[in-house]
Amino acid sequence: MHRHSTPLRGVKAIAHPQPDNPNYTDVNYAYAGREGHIHEVVEIGGRRLAKVGYKDRKIVYYFIEDLELDESAKRGTFHDEA
């Protein structure tokens, strides 16, 4: 069972996953340090994960605690770009 939450939609996020975390794959580490924007937040098994979208239209999930969030930056996702 999971729940969706969107108050952080469009917030700028930079992932900093912990090294050697078995919950992450090579894709998570490949996008670490890149600027993305949150599309939504889901809760699965009591843990909050953010669906982060990147300019190349790739979506990668990260635990909220592994994200550096900048709510003061212009909000948006690649869906907002024309």
Determine which helix (DSSP H) or strand (DSSP E) holds 27, and give its type and residue range: helix 26-31
pLDDT at 72: 79
pLDDT at 6: 73
Q: Per residue, what are the HEC states of 2-27?
A: EEEECCCCCCEEEECCCCCCCCCCHH
pLDDT at 29: 98
pLDDT at 7: 81
pLDDT of 16 > 70? The answer is yes
Q: pLDDT of 32-76, one tens digit each?
A: 999 999 999 998 888 899 999 999 999 999 999 999 998 776 666
pTM of this prediction? 0.81
Instruction: Go through the domains of the chain in sequence order and give each one's CATH number.
Output: 2-73 (2.30.30)
